[in-house]
Amino acid sequence: MNPRIGDWRGQRVWVIGASTGIGAETAKLLLERGARVALSARKLSTLQTVAPEFPKALLLPLDVTRHAEVLAARDTLLAQWQGFDLVLVVAGAYNEMRADSFDMAAVNQLIDLNLRGVFHCLDAVLPSLLAQHSGGIGIVSSAAGYSGLPKALIYGPTKAALINLCESLYVDLRPRGNAVYLINPGFVETPATAVNDFPMPGLITARRAAQEIVQGIEQGHFHIHFPKRFTNWLRLARLLPYRWYFALLHKVTGL
């Protein structure tokens, strides 16, 4: 559904949300494959620890919730690279919320990061991608965006919106020569999931997640989801009539 990538050498890749977890491992893997990688997240000190063995990696601290900072980093990068071959928007956070712990401040915070932050990145890179008629954008959503899940009152909707966004983007960008990748991980071992006190089905390492992402992009897939033994169950479940879907959720989670 997208052009294949056979060789990463010299490819200009901007990974936003690259200081820990999935983004850090993906940035590292791409550097190992010979790509020119720019890493962004809020703290320069953390970015400096990701891939010290690649001193040529560009470190561009920014907060995705601050539009001006994203645009300024984009300008710095364009001045050096003159364009992008791939932009990966990985930055995001999880928040456990149920109806009886509803918290409007936390809702706003997650919308700012998981949703508005992604739109800030889009605003920054779309003009260049469109003008180039080449290069792509990948957005990390989540398998939790496929359908409503317990404890995901705000996380789920932000990720569902990103799935919808990628579908719309694909319609607009693919005919213009650009690639779009919708990336839906299941459970991945990262600082974000380290706090979970429940068994995480199909849990994989961040390195494995990075390999899945890079391989999916190399093969030109639009929908990159993993581990399939977990994500395919969720994809099947969402096709069930609601009566059965909710009964299945109750059986599996007790909620």
Ligand X SMILES: NC(=O)c1ccc[n+]([C@@H]2O[C@H](COP(=O)([O-])OP(=O)(O)OC[C@H]3O[C@@H](n4cnc5c(N)ncnc54)[C@H](OP(=O)(O)O)[C@@H]3O)[C@@H](O)[C@H]2O)c1
Which parts of this chain interact with ligand X (CB under 6 A)? 17-23, 41-43, 46, 63-65, 90-94, 113, 117, 140, 142, 185, 187-188, 190-193
Is 170 in the active site? Answer: no
Strands (DSSP E) along 79-163, which ranges?
Answer: 86-89, 136-140
Of 203 and 249, CB closest to ligand X: 203
**Smallest gap from residue 247 Cβ to ligand X (A):** 25
In the bound state with ligand X, the residue whose beta carbon lies nearer, of 5 and 59, is: 59
- The smaller minimum CB distance to ligand X, of residues 21 and 136, is found at 21
Q: Which is nearer to ligand X, 82 or 205 (CB)?
A: 205
CB 183 within 8 A of CB 139: yes
Please give the DSSP secondary-structure letter assigned to residue 61. -
The dihedral through the CA atoms of 238, 241, 247, 248 has a sign that is negative
- Smallest separation (angstroms) from ligand X to the CB of 243: 27
Minimum separation from the CB atom of position 119 to ligand X (A):
13
- Kindly name the residue from 94, 146, 155, 181 that is annotated as catalytic: 155
State the nearest-atom distance from the C-beta of 126 to ligand X, in Å.
18
* Rounded-to-integer distance, Cα 16 and Cα 61, Å: 9
- Residue 193's CB is within 10 A of a number of other CB atoms, namely 14
Cα–Cα dist 87/174, whole Å: 15
184: closest CA among 249, 122, 139?
139
CB neighbour class for 126 (10 Å; exposed up to 12, middle 13-18, buried from 19): middle
Least gap, CB of 46 to ligand X (angstroms): 5
User: Helix, strand, coil % (nearest 5) of the chain?
Assistant: 50, 15, 35
Instruction: Specify the residue, 129 or 204, whose C-beta has the smaller distance to ligand X.
Output: 204
Residues with active-site annotation = 155
